[in-house]
Amino acid sequence: MPMKGKFPLRRTLRYLERGNVYLRDTVKIVTINYNTLGETHKGARDFVFYNLPQLQYKNQNVQMQTFKNLTPSPFIRCFLNDGDEVLIDIDSKSNTSILEHVKKLLGKSEDILSAERKAREKKTNPANFGREFARECICQVPGQVPCPSVVPLPKN
Amino acid sequence: MASHSSRILLGQVVQSKLRDAAKVQITRLVLDEYVMQYFPNKSKVFSFDPKKVTKVGDIVLVKELEAKRTAFITHKIEKIIYSVGNVRDPITGRRCDSKSYWDEDERKKLFEKEPEEKTGLDETFAEKRSVYEDDRMKEPIMSLDRKDWKI
């Protein structure tokens, strides 16, 4: 039985997880203004249809909102933490170029992403001991030498 | 969510009976796990607006207060983004509707008075506006003095 709707591939977990734009932590709100009619707004409409779910899936804490038929030209307006605004003109652009533009302007670069990934791995890696990790000392592991502060080490 | 240092939200002002606060409706997209689609989810927030700068229907930016003013008023109006019926395109700075940009000179000839544009809470003194826009409601329908009643 086939999936229902227009381009139902959008509604799969695999499609959502394919999103590769991770917005920076300072970006809090993303608004997209576009019209329902008009050839110059077609890219914006496609962006909202195909790419907005992916963007929202990867950035759960960012509020994303669309405004239809407010202004004659389409644009993306992002609100940052300190009250700053970022305005992206998306008139007569394809949805892929819009996505790339957003990624370049507001997306986390590959270096930052890999550093974050390493930091996450460090925490889960059981080989690390210390105050910030799961176990402070190897003496906490059952089967190892107990803590010398509790049980004195043998004299040999 | 609690880890965010300054929480700002975008919403639309909705009718409320509060004297010094505006009720702002915030829509966020929430993933329905079964249908696997994002649907808008509305939530209401009371934001401090003592001078009644916002009108019903404005799109506003709302910021979380450091400390709650009252049990309900937890946010304050930071900025009016789009004023209802009076949208200003941020790219060109001109007033517009969905079809075209407005010609200011022509509009001056047609309309005597244009709606006031208020972008934020920087007015030093603003007249307290009633919730009802209709001027008739400001005057009482009938005089409350018994002498004036012609019975």
- What span, in angstroms and rounded, lies between the C-alpha atoms of B64 and B73? 10
Domain range annotation of chain B: 8-85
C-alpha closest to that of B62 among B130, B132, B14, B114: B14
* DSSP assignment letter at B125: -
Residue A13 reports pLDDT greater than 70: yes
- What span, in angstroms and rounded, lies between the C-alpha atoms of B130 and B114? 19
Interface of chain A toward chain B, CB-CB under 8 angstroms: 10-13, 16, 28-29, 31, 35, 52-53, 56-57, 61, 63-65, 67, 69-73, 75, 77, 79, 81-83, 85, 87, 89
User: What is the pLDDT, as a whole number, of residue B129?
Assistant: 46
Ordered structural domains, chain A, with CATH: 8-112 (3.40.30.10), 125-155 (no CATH)
- Give helix then strand counts, H and E, for chain A: 5, 4
Yes or no, beta carbons of B10 and A63 under 8 Å apart = yes
Q: How confident is the model at residue A26 (pLDDT cuts 50, 70, 90)?
A: very high
User: What is the pLDDT, as a whole number, of residue B140?
Assistant: 57
Residue A144 reports pLDDT greater than 80: yes
**Kind plus residue range of the DSSP H or E element containing A97:** helix A95-106
Whether residue B99 lies within 8 A of chain A, CB to CB, comes out as yes
User: What is the pLDDT, as a whole number, of residue B19?
Assistant: 86
ipTM of the complex: 0.78
Closest by Cβ to B90, choosing from A10, A11, A77: A77
Asked whether the beta carbons of A55 and A68 are under 8 A apart, the reply is no
Asked whether the beta carbons of B120 and B53 are under 8 A apart, the reply is yes
User: What is the pLDDT, as a whole number, of residue A34?
Assistant: 96
Q: What is the pLDDT of residues A49-102, one digit of tens each?
A: 999 999 999 999 999 999 999 999 999 999 998 888 999 999 999 999 999 999
Interface of B with A in 9-38 (CB under 8 A): 9-10, 26-29, 31, 35-38
CA distances from A17 to A13, A54, A148, B7 (A): 6, 7, 48, 26
Yes or no, beta carbons of B61 and A35 under 8 Å apart = no
- CA B108 from chain center: how many Å? 25
- Whole-model pTM? 0.76
More confident of the two residues A153 and B9:
B9
Contact list, B43 vs chain A (CB under 8 Å): none
Tokens of residue B94, six digits = 């001109």
Angle at A153 between CA A148 and CA A155, to 5 degrees: 155
User: What is the pLDDT, as a whole number, of residue B130?
Assistant: 44
Q: From first to last of the 151 residues of chain B, give the pLDDT tens digit.
A: 444 456 899 999 999 988 889 999 999 999 999 999 999 999 999 999 888 889 999 999 999 988 888 889 999 998 899 998 889 999 998 999 889 998 888 888 888 777 767 665 554 334 444 444 554 455 555 666 667 666 6
Contact list, A67 vs chain B (CB under 8 Å): 59, 82
For the domain made up of B8-85, the CATH class stated in words is: mainly beta
Yes or no, beta carbons of A70 and B90 under 8 Å apart = no
